[in-house]
Amino acid sequence: MSDTNRAIARGFFDDLYAGRFDEALATLAPDAHYKVFGVPEDFPLAGTYGKDQLGDLMAIIGPTVPHGTNPTITSTIADGDVVAVIGHVEALAVTGRDYANNFVFVVTLRDGLITQVDEYIDTQHANDVLFDNPPMKRGTTMSENTQQLDPRDEAEIREVIQRYSETLDKRDFDRLADSYTENATLENTFEDYIPFGSAFTGTLATGAKEIATAVGNLMGPLNATQHFLGTILFDVTDEGVRTQTQVIAHHHRGAGFFHTGGTYIDDFVKTDAGWRTNRRVLHTSWTTGDPKVVTGD
pLDDT at 156: 92
Pick the CATH number of 2-131 from 3.40.50.300, 3.10.450.50, 1.10.357.10, 3.30.450.20: 3.10.450.50
> Is 151-295 the same fold as 2-131?
yes
Q: How confident is the model at residue 225 (pLDDT cuts 50, 70, 90)?
A: very high
- pLDDT for 137 beyond 70: no
Q: Which residues of 243-282 are buried (b: 16+ CB within 10 A; e: fewer)?
A: bebbbbbbbbbeeebbbbbbbbbbbbeeeeeebbbbbbbb
pLDDT band for position 30 (50/70/90)?
Answer: very high
pLDDT tens per residue, range 153-185: 899 999 999 999 999 999 999 999 999 999 999
Q: Residue 139 has what pLDDT?
A: 36
Q: Pick the residue with more confidence: 222 or 197?
A: 222
Give the C-alpha distances (Å, rounded to integers) separating 126 from 8, 10, 98, 136: 26, 22, 10, 13
- Flag whether pLDDT at 144 surpasses 60: no
Q: What is the pLDDT of residue 77?
A: 92
Binning pLDDT at 50, 70 and 90, where does residue 38 land?
Answer: confident
Q: pLDDT tens digit string along 252-266?
A: 999 999 999 999 999
pLDDT at 136: 43
**Arithmetic mean of pLDDT, 275-279:** 96
Q: DSSP 3-state helix, strand, coil percentages of the chain (rounded to 5)?
A: 30, 45, 25
CATH assignment, 151-295: 3.10.450.50
* pLDDT value of position 198: 83
User: What are the structural domain ranges in the chain?
Assistant: 2-131, 151-295
- pLDDT number for residue 147: 55
pLDDT at 108 over 70: yes
pLDDT band at 142 (very low <50, low <70, confident <90, very high): very low
